[in-house]
Structure 1
Amino acid sequence: MKRKEILEKLMLQINKGNHIVGVTTGCGITAKYSQNAGADFLLTLSSARFRQMGRGVLASFLPYCNSNDLVMEFGSKEIIPLVKDIPVIFGVNATDPTKNMDAYLDKIIENGFSGVNNYPSIGLIDGKFREALEESGCSYLSEVELIKKANNKGLFTIAFVFDEIQAKQMIEAGADAICVHLGLTEDELLGEKKKFSLEYVKLKMEKIFNKCNEINPYVIKLIYGGPIKTPLDIQYMYSNENLMGYIGGSPFDKIPLEKAITKTIKTFKVSSNVDEDDLITKKLDKITNNCDYVEYVKEYVAKNYMNDISFADLAKSVHVSRSYLSSLFKKEVGCSFTEYLVKFRINKAVDILNKKDIPLSTVATLVGYNDYSQFSKMFKKYKGYSPIKHKHKKLEHKNIYLENEK
């Protein structure tokens, strides 16, 4: 797929109000079903291959093999021949001393890849090891140069960035998409876990996207990794209108696969009533895993946001105190339940306004606000402008898009 064609397809999705979804893949079956499910592009990363081996993704940073050779091997033989009409992006280790990057980019094109991404990235390394790498010439600037060279060769480019400075460097290098890397998915960290809340990474994302908008507001803006593991997590992040899409790895293959295999084998092992055993297992899981309490609350909000919700009743339903559940929720999400609920409702209102032309009072009711003035007040507080102004902005955007189509 040519760069121009990819950009046109992605921008068409964005202009329709849809979100872009990219999938990191390390094997043919993930690639095949990701394409069937409607993924917009695939990223062949060495970390994804190690994940398919049942290993931690940090293995892609260690000298077990050459990352570029590994990606070229499975990508060109297992992914490219299998999928059609979907761009496949090559994860390039830009600091590889065994490769002439100009010649290697030509090889990437010859083997049918549509674009490149800077991975493994120096941006995931810090401390004294990072300092030593920089001193030896292995720096993030090598990744910036990779994106610049790839752009000059007509490849579609997705740049992983970790701060505002790197975002600026990558945009100036010609990156088509800036993807804020929020860190490894939490359950994949080796050793001591360093957990960040949804609110923490959301603020980090917003700072970087604000810098992107200063330089090029039209660059595609995506996120990857971190604490985002469920559709509800990404929905929370979409309250920021700058965010255009999500790239996922573990949430699309490792986590669902773990759950499916575990549940299926347990089902085959049971000798009594399957439904009863499954119910007992779920109850035991809730008792032993505090994160389940938080997921339960988020799922309940997603299904009942249009109704009155009592946090005290939610605490009673899982047999924990209100204060304990509140503490768990704030630690995991990064904000109070009340703030989460309001943001969820306002985000739903934005979705409705983007897709339907209906009275604002009706939208308020649909998202749980019988008092329109309260709805308008909360909308303005979290979006920075009134519901009516948002409606006018979407209408202007639609008219501009229609004119461009003509």
Structure 2
Amino acid sequence: MRSFTRGEVLCALRAGLAEGRPILGVCAGIGLTAKCAERAGADLIFVNNTGRFRMSGRNGLLAKFSFGDANAVTEEMGTEILPVLAHTPAVAGVFAQDPFKRMDMVLENLKRWGFAGVQNSPGMGMMRPAMAKNLEAGGLGFSKEIELVETARSMDLLTAPFCYDAEQALRLAQAGADILLLNLGLTAGNDDGVEVPPLGACIEEMRAILAPAKDARPDVLIMCHGGPLATPEDVQRVYDAIPEMDGYLGGSSIERIPVERAIINVIRDFKQIAVEKQEESV
């Protein structure tokens, strides 16, 4: 895999946008997903511990819990995924609140291994106000993710952080984020029966989230992820409704839901095979 500078990645993304091609990011939980994504023309490959849980048949929300060292998991996944990529930049998920690691050293290692950028995954952005306030008071809040973006930017790493509301988006833009990923939560079609808001409501929500950030930083790129965005048709509706939307990041919509359906269908097809019943000999 070749290495990429932040400038090279942004130049390629903006060139595609100028030709009318929105950015497509793919969350890869396994090497096969990354390999197929590159072959199909994905612009960015995202590697984080959510993908590891997702592709082990578990709920991606487990990435928010202490079932492992999130940063170590990303590093381990990198050894599986980076070698199968020939020409697609990869973005690493970083747990910025990790109290046992120096973030500058974590980022330096990720850059040395071949990651072109980072994002705040897992992060604290989806926490409710009371919990978010307590985390902030304890030095474990969203401010750590702002610091992550600032440090990564100083190291010439691409930054593509998740955000969940207008305040977070504005703070990340002011910190120098290259891409804001508007996270709408778990993806529709989840076999756990998770309910998601209707697409129309999410479109209005995304407009409200991105407006202050775009006012402050007109050059910041905007992408969407999760919630009711489960098909290409869903994403097309977003592009039609929000001209400022530059791209889409798919996780479950690309590597889990299609795989679930394909495996179930092919096994059912195999189970339909019949042979002539043989009479038992006496």
* TM-score computed with the length of structure 2 as normaliser: 0.92
How far apart are 1:126 and its partner, in Å? 2.1
C-alpha change, 1:46 and 1:14, in structure 2 (3 Å) is same
How far apart are 1:212 and its partner, in Å? 2.2
- Maintained 8 Å contact 2:25/2:43: yes
Residue 103 (1) aligns with residue 105 (2)? yes
Correspondences of 1:356-375 after superposition (within 5 Å): none
What is the DSSP-based 3-state SS (H/G/I as helix, E as strand, rest coil) of the residue aligned with 1:147? Answer: helix
Correspondences of 1:34-113 after superposition (within 5 Å): 34-75=37-78, 77-113=79-115
In structure 2, the residue matched to 1:206 is 207
- Maintained 8 Å contact 1:158/1:177: yes
1:57 maps to a residue whose letter is G
In structure 2, the residue matched to 1:224 is 225
How far apart are 1:137 and its partner, in Å? 1.8
What is the DSSP-based 3-state SS (H/G/I as helix, E as strand, rest coil) of the residue aligned with 1:213? Answer: helix
How far apart are 1:193 and its partner, in Å? 3.5
How far apart are 1:129 and its partner, in Å? 4.2
In structure 2, the residue matched to 1:255 is 257
How far apart are 1:38 and its partner, in Å? 0.3
2:10 corresponds to which of 7, 21, 24: 7
1:219 maps to a residue whose letter is V
Separation of aligned partners in 2, 1:131 and 1:218? 30
Residue 153 (1) aligns with residue 185 (2)? no
- Consecutive unaligned residues of structure 2, counting only runs of 5 or more, are 275-282
- Maintained 8 Å contact 2:164/2:183: yes
How far apart are 1:216 and its partner, in Å? 1.4
Separation of aligned partners in 1, 2:236 and 2:80? 32
How far apart are 1:253 and its partner, in Å? 0.9
1:180 corresponds to which of 161, 179, 182: 182
What is the DSSP-based 3-state SS (H/G/I as helix, E as strand, rest coil) of the residue aligned with 2:87? Answer: coil
In structure 1, the residue matched to 2:278 is none
Separation of aligned partners in 1, 2:191 and 2:31? 25
Question: Between Structure 1 and Structure 2, how many residues are aligned?
Answer: 270
Residues 283-328 of structure 1: per-residue CA shift (max 9 Å, x gap) = xxxxxxxxxxxxxxxxxxxxxxxxxxxxxxxxxxxxxxxxxxxxxx
Separation of aligned partners in 1, 2:190 and 2:151? 32
What is the DSSP-based 3-state SS (H/G/I as helix, E as strand, rest coil) of the residue aligned with 1:122? Answer: coil
Residues 379-400 of structure 1: per-residue CA shift (max 9 Å, x gap) = xxxxxxxxxxxxxxxxxxxxxx
Correspondences of 1:287-306 after superposition (within 5 Å): none
C-alpha change, 1:173 and 1:128, in structure 2 (3 Å) is closer
- Maintained 8 Å contact 1:116/1:158: yes
How far apart are 1:259 and its partner, in Å? 0.5
How far apart are 1:20 and its partner, in Å? 0.6
In structure 2, the residue matched to 1:306 is none
Residue 19 (1) aligns with residue 22 (2)? yes
1:218 maps to a residue whose letter is D
- Maintained 8 Å contact 2:44/2:91: yes
Residue 165 (1) aligns with residue 167 (2)? yes
2:231 maps to a residue whose letter is T
Separation of aligned partners in 1, 2:150 and 2:129? 27
How far apart are 1:169 and its partner, in Å? 0.8
Residues 248-294 of structure 1: per-residue CA shift (max 9 Å, x gap) = 0011111000110110011111157xxxxxxxxxxxxxxxxxxxxxx
Separation of aligned partners in 2, 1:83 and 1:73? 15
How far apart are 1:189 and its partner, in Å? 8.6
How far apart are 1:213 and its partner, in Å? 2.1
In structure 2, the residue matched to 1:140 is 142
In structure 2, the residue matched to 1:238 is 239
Where has structure 1 moved over 3 Å in runs of 4 or more? 127-132, 186-190
How far apart are 1:157 and its partner, in Å? 0.6
- Maintained 8 Å contact 1:157/1:176: yes
What is the DSSP-based 3-state SS (H/G/I as helix, E as strand, rest coil) of the residue aligned with 1:246? Answer: strand
How far apart are 1:131 and its partner, in Å? 4.2
How far apart are 1:186 and its partner, in Å? 3.2
1:210 maps to a residue whose letter is A
- Consecutive unaligned residues of structure 1, counting only runs of 5 or more, are 273-406
2:112 maps to a residue whose letter is E
- Maintained 8 Å contact 2:189/2:230: no
Structure (1/2) with the larger helix percentage: 1
2:120 corresponds to which of 111, 118, 121: 118
In structure 2, the residue matched to 1:196 is 197
In structure 2, the residue matched to 1:311 is none
- Maintained 8 Å contact 2:186/2:227: yes
- Maintained 8 Å contact 1:57/1:188: no
Correspondences of 1:279-318 after superposition (within 5 Å): none
In structure 2, the residue matched to 1:338 is none
How many percent of aligned residue pairs carry the same amino acid?
34
- Maintained 8 Å contact 2:186/2:194: no
* TM-score computed with the length of structure 1 as normaliser: 0.64
2:69 maps to a residue whose letter is N
Separation of aligned partners in 1, 2:145 and 2:191? 24
